[in-house]
Amino acid sequence: MNLYMKRLAIFFAMVVLAACSSKKEEAPVSDVEEAPTVLLEKNIPIAIEHYKNMMETLEGEEFPKTYVDGEFKTSNSGWWCSGFYPGTLLYLFQESGDSTLLTEAERMLKLLEIEQYNKYTHDLGFMMYCSFGNALKIAPKEEYKRILVNSAESLSSRFSEEVGAIKSWDSLPEDYLVIIDNMMNLELLFWATRETGDSTFYDIAVTHANTTLENHFREDNSSYHVVNYDPNGGGIQEKKTAQGLSDSSAWARGQAWGLYGFTVMFRETRDSVYLDQADKIAQFFVNHPNLPKDKIPLWDFDAKADEERDASAAAIAASGLLELDEYHPDRGYAKIAKEMLAVLSGYYTAEVGTNGNFLIMHNVGHKPENSEVDVPLTYADYYFIEGLIRLSNK
């Protein structure tokens, strides 16, 4: 802990400046020649301080959600973000060996177990694989395998052979809504096939990805947020947005979900069609004329230049780009991801004791509903830490 405090003191001045910065200003691009491990070493101690403070704030069976107008917001285990807090704690434990973090993570996992039987959400990958999946790798227990298999079975129950996709949101009987975010939940299904030998999970994931590949993308390789299918297999009824600027716009976090999700698809299948798609999405993202120079996107690529940035989209994209770089090392994706993480580290990282004890500032959840706009979000912290770990392993 003394080492953490020394690093914290060195970095403290920069963090204070970051906390005072405006979300609409252009951040200076940090020195990308700095050793990849440095960003991890700077941020892990700060993240641990934040999350240990957060532990003291949580009560009962609450899961952290966000911090709005001075109020710490929480959820129950059924909220789609419930897996990110224990998942982040496990990443921090992995990097520090601090058993306090593991104890808290395991406490939250016990609260989350009930969701293995939840058939009313498509987000079980986020909820269960980012938590129990991490636990199985970092601090394994045999019981986690059964929980994850049950979760995969629950997720699979939302698959329709007629549509060829997993339903995202329950809606009217005549609707079958599928969102680009759902690509992130398929990793759980691939794991389940490896664990059980049952190829059904694998086949569902591939079918869903193929349906998404065929119908979600425009000619410029940007993605629609929502595709509404005829539940009886009659094809597409509409393409639209829920959280983006307009039906025809490119919602930034949606592009990040697609980039990351199709990269995972290539990892799990080695089918080059998925690598090509991930590369196309990445090229759209990093070369977009409306992407600010510091590479932290506006909440929607078609938003006005003075509107909010979405640091969560940057964190997700950076982590995805670092994996994509393994398969496409000729594109410079690792360098771009490092630039993004460096800016997040220096300009979007909150001072300890502020920001509701979340690490990353200036994220956008649901701008059209004026919900979670310019606030911290659990998944921004999760993918930022994951990205730093991936970068340090380069």
Query: What residues are annotated to the active site?
Result: 123, 181
Residue 36 corresponds to which amino acid? P
Asked if 106 and 118 touch (Cβ cutoff 8 Å), the reply is no
Q: Could you give the CA distance from residue 209 to residue 274 in angstroms, rounded to a whole number?
A: 9
Query: How far, CA to CA in Å, does 27 sit from each of 17, 139, 252, 358?
Result: 11, 37, 18, 20
Q: Could you give the CA distance from residue 387 to residue 322 in angstroms, rounded to a whole number?
A: 7
Asked if 154 and 209 touch (Cβ cutoff 8 Å), the reply is no
Q: Could you give the CA distance from residue 95 to residue 108 in angstroms, rounded to a whole number?
A: 19
Q: Could you give the CA distance from residue 319 to residue 311 in angstroms, rounded to a whole number?
A: 12
SS3 48: helix
Task: Report the Cα–Cα distance between both ends of the chain, in Å, rounded.
Answer: 26
Q: Could you give the CA distance from residue 49 to residue 330 in angstroms, rounded to a whole number?
A: 38
Exposure letters 344-373 (e unless 16+ CB within 10 A, then b): bbbbbbbbbebbbbbbbbbbbbebeeeebb
Q: Could you give the CA distance from residue 41 to residue 30 in angstroms, rounded to a whole number?
A: 16
